[in-house]
């Protein structure tokens, strides 16, 4: 373990940052296999969301540094793309073991930079680790196709080949899982990778990069730059970058999709959400209420798959008081404190925004059944805490419904029957995830069949697919046509070459030119 603490110091991240005396340690760039200090004159402070203390600083990489990073990717691609698939597989087999051995160190880093509870942070790492494990199946996943004898002496076969340099732009809310959706899948296919983590939580990515290097990834196969808009524009514009994976808000995602596509790149863009949990009166009440509360307020609601909207159908409307009682029992505290259920929001601005969306609901006529705006956390008075909040009597025209709140706020709508509930969900522009709670198979089947949302849970509140499937958010939550990880992830990071070959016996040689189209 101490090896990893030293390693993290070396790569410019520190697990125990809170103990560091001033000036705050700086986050390094990772270029051509070296963790280097940026020469930038522009730096951003990174805060612990539970205290708002500055724990580290991150540079906005200079143009020259970004160019060095992409050139390193281009140079490394020449040999990495020719490295045997078995060698790449072995590197990722070692990588998954290193991540497994260091889950707790990674989780500590996540909690100190992002704020979520330690147990939840371990889940963040674990769900990313599963993608790395899946990447280790690359020898089966990258198989091409063959069709022999399409005509006499002629066979057709396809190869699945890497694209070149690929890039990833990540959000703040899953500092391990989402970078791990990106570079392992891209690299195991034979691409090299340029990653820009969220400028608010870069530490975990730096630890992951160090572990990848220790697993044997050659210099230049992964490069990491930091920054905001200039770094994003650089990625969208640089001609060597063939594909961009983005996860984050709609504002950034739509912009990146358009700018990257215009420059001829493949872009997959996973964006915001408003996920509805439809509660039928025949559902298992105990189970459903617990699942709803967990999925609405876990990670302080800062999950793209948070169940942020409940639609209570028929008699289930009478369950509201019990829902409130359960939400009240959650403990709001700093993520590293024992027993914490709900940690802080990422920034004071995020807290401000969430509070104002709650207020807008009140002003537009919603009923504030539980108000978490004035929550006090002893010893963490300066943290960005908002307690569990429930707004009922919400209607689809209210701002608290039309906007993604991304905080610990559950908005509750009501419906007479299943058809009305389905209509509400389908009229919402987002299509990331949804869940239905019922004990009736026919009801569940009707819902899964008719609802126009990319990921559906039946008595499963957060139906994020395991990596042998793909993350299939749809409509307003996604731009692009090939999703993250699973078979679709392999498709995104590869291109097909189709070979048609003819090997004739000598006596079958053509006697004259064939000028008609072969049939
Ligand atoms: P964000 O869009 O603010 O930031 C994501 C990345 O884009 C960062 O690296 C940031 O530097 C960059 N960026 C931010 N604003 C930009 C702009 N205007 N132009 C260009 N680049 C910009 O997102 P966030 O706040 O870090 O993350 C929260 C959002 O991500 C939520 O909307 C959430 O639903 C979404 N999210 C979606 C998924 C999914 O799979 N659908 C998963 C996680 C998070």
Phi/psi at 450 (nearest 5 deg)? -95, -20
- What's the pLDDT at 22? 52
- Residue 451 to residue 436: CA distance in whole angstroms: 10
CA of 227 to the centre of ligand 1 (A): 13
- What's the pLDDT at 12? 57
CB-ligand 1 contact for 406 (6 Å cutoff): yes
CB-ligand 1 contact for 421 (6 Å cutoff): no
> Do 49 and 385 form a contact (C-beta atoms < 8 A)?
no
- Residue 205 to residue 212: CA distance in whole angstroms: 10
Catalytic residues: 304
- What's the pLDDT at 8? 46
Name the pTM for this structure: 0.95
For residue 338, what are the contacts with CB-CB under 8 A and spacing of at least 6? none
- What's the pLDDT at 93? 98
CB-ligand 1 contact for 190 (6 Å cutoff): no
CB-ligand 1 contact for 377 (6 Å cutoff): no
Q: For residue 168, list its beta bridge partners.
A: 195, 245
Q: Which parts of the chain have pLDDT scores under 70?
A: 1-23
Pocket test for ligand 1, best of 131, 179, 227, 248 (most atoms within 8 A of CB): 248
- What's the pLDDT at 511? 83
Nearest atom in ligand 1 to the alpha carbon of residue 304 is 34
C-alpha pair distances (Å), 165 with each of 47, 70, 194, 491: 32, 8, 7, 15
Distant-in-sequence contacts of 1-8, Cβ < 8 A, 24+ apart: 1/102, 1/105, 4/102, 4/105, 4/207, 5/105, 7/207, 7/210, 7/214, 8/105, 8/109, 8/203, 8/206, 8/207, 8/210
- What's the pLDDT at 508? 77
Nearest atom in ligand 1 to the alpha carbon of residue 251 is 18
Q: In terms of Cα–Cα distance, which of 96, 100, 95, 119 is closest to 108?
A: 119
């Amino acid at each position: 373990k101490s090896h990893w603490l030293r390693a993290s110091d070396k790569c410019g991240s520190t697990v125990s940052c809170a103990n560091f005396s001033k000036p705050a340690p700086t986050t390094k760039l990772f270029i051509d296999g070296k963790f280097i200090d940026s020469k930038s004159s522009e730096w951003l402070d990174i805060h612990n969301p539970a205290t708002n203390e500055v724990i580290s600083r991150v540079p906005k990489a200079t143009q020259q540094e970004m160019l060095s990073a992409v050139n390193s990717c281009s140079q490394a691609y020449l040999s990495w793309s020719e490295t045997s698939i078995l060698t790449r597989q072995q590197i990722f087999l070692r990588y998954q073991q290193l991540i497994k051995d260091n889950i707790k160190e990674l989780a500590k880093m996540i909690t100190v930079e992002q704020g979520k509870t330690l147990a939840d942070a371990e889940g963040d790492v674990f769900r990313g680790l599963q993608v790395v494990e899946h990447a280790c199946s690359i020898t089966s996943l990258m198989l091409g196709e063959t069709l022999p004898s399409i005509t006499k002496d002629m066979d057709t076969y396809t190869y699945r080949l890497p694209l070149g340099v690929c890039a990833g732009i990540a959000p703040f809310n899953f500092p391990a899982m989402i970078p791990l959706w990106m570079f392992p899948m891209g690299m195991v296919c034979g691409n090299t990778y340029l990653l820009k983590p969220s400028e608010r939580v870069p530490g975990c990515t730096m630890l992951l990069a160090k572990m990848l290097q220790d697993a044997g990834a050659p210099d230049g196969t992964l490069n990491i730059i930091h920054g905001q808009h200039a770094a994003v524009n650089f990625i969208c514009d640089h001609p060597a970058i063939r594909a961009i994976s983005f996860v984050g808000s709609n504002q950034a995602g739509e912009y990146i999709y358009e700018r990257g596509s215009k420059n001829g790149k493949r872009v997959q863009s996973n964006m915001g959400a408003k996920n509805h949990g439809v509660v039928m009166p025949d559902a298992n009440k105990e189970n459903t209420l617990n699942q709803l509360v967990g999925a609405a307020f876990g990670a302080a609601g800062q999950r793209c798959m948070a169940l942020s909207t409940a639609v209570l159908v028929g008699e289930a409307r009478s369950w509201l008081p019990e829902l409130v009682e359960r939400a009240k029992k959650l403990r709001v505290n700093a993520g590293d404190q024992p027993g914490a259920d709900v940690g802080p929001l990422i920034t004071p601005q995020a807290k401000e925004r969430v509070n104002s969306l709650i207020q807008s609901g009140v002003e537009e006529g919603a009923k504030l059944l539980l108000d978490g705006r004035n929550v006090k956390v002893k010893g963490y008075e300066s943290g960005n805490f908002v307690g569990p909040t429930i707004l009922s009597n919400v209607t689809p025209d209210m701002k608290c419904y039309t906007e993604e709140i991304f905080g610990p706020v559950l908005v509750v709508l009501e419906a007479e029957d299943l058809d009305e509930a389905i209509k509400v969900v389908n009229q919402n522009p987002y299509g990331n995830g949804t869940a239905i709670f019922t004990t009736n198979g026919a009801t569940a089947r009707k819902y899964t069949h008719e609802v126009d949302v990319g990921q559906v849970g039946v008595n499963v509140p957060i139906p994020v697919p395991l990596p042998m499937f793909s993350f299939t958010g749809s409509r307003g939550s996604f731009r692009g046509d090939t999703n993250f990880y699973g078979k679709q992830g392999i498709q995104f990071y590869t291109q097909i070459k189709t070979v048609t070959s003819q090997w004739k016996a000598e006596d079958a040689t053509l006697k004259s030119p064939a000028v008609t189209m072969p049939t």
